[in-house]
Amino acid sequence: MTLMTSAERAEPAIDSAERPMLEGWLDYHRETLIAKCAGLTDAQLREASVPPSALTLLGLVQHLAEVERYWFRAILAGEELPDLYSTEEDPDADFTVSETTTWAETEAVWRAETAAARESAAAFGLDDFSKGLGSSGKPFNLRWIYTHMIEEYARHNGHADLVRERVDGATGV
């Protein structure tokens, strides 16, 4: 097996204040996902992990773009936005890729959503509650959303580790 090279990503300083720490760890995990995709062709990025799973690296990036949009824009900022990929008929469509799904397109959408997420979060303090409500009918504070997003990325980066190793044997990052 070969070791993947590390992307340009820095762990947050061990003495950071709470908000820079949360933002730093979220950015670290965001860039870890992108590092898992580095150096692969579109076909490799569309390659599923292990049957019967259809999980792919491109599907993970699409899913996390949609998650960014949902938590930071729809829930936190209260924007009324359509889903990027999912539908009522197929709520997991954000994981689905086709033979025409490309890295350039997927990464561009993901980068746009992460930039919009940062912009939305900048208008809130950690203790501020979201304008939108979750399925429970309750708002979330920004601290909870940051913590949830770190967990979301960390979990899916674990999936990305396994998919990447299946695709080309690379491990690390």
Cα–Cα distance, 169 to 93 (Å, whole number): 27
Domain locations along the chain: 35-166
pLDDT tens digits, residue range 38-52? Answer: 999 999 999 998 878
Confidence of residue 9 (pLDDT cuts 50, 70, 90): confident
Q: What's the confidence (pLDDT) of residue 171?
A: 86
Instruction: Tell me phi and psi for residue 147, to 5 degrees.
Output: -65, -45
Q: What is the pTM of this model?
A: 0.93
Nearest to 27 by CA among 110, 114, 89, 97: 114
Q: What's the confidence (pLDDT) of residue 1?
A: 46
pLDDT tens digits, residue range 117-141? Answer: 999 999 999 999 999 999 999 999 9
- Tokens at residue 36, please? 């898992």
Query: Residue type at 121?
Result: A
Q: Rounded mean pLDDT of 105-128?
A: 98
Average pLDDT, the chain: 93
Cα–Cα distance, 2 to 15 (Å, whole number): 34
Q: What's the confidence (pLDDT) of residue 50?
A: 83
Instruction: Tell me phi and psi for residue 123, to 5 degrees.
Output: -85, 0
- Tokens at residue 56, please? 């792919």
pLDDT tens digits, residue range 23-73? Answer: 999 999 999 999 999 999 999 999 998 878 999 999 999 999 999 999 999
Confidence of residue 4 (pLDDT cuts 50, 70, 90): low
Contact 114, 44 (CB under 8 A): no
Contact 59, 67 (CB under 8 A): no
Q: Is the pLDDT of residue 108 over 50?
A: yes
- Tokens at residue 28, please? 């670290």
The CATH-assigned architecture of domain 35-166 is Up-down Bundle (1.20)
Cα–Cα distance, 115 to 32 (Å, whole number): 16
Q: What's the confidence (pLDDT) of residue 124?
A: 98
Q: What's the confidence (pLDDT) of residue 8?
A: 66
Tell me the CA distances in angstroms from 151 to 11, 64, 104, one per residue in order: 16, 12, 26
Longest dimension (CA), the chain: 48
Q: What's the confidence (pLDDT) of residue 78?
A: 98
- Tokens at residue 102, please? 């490309």
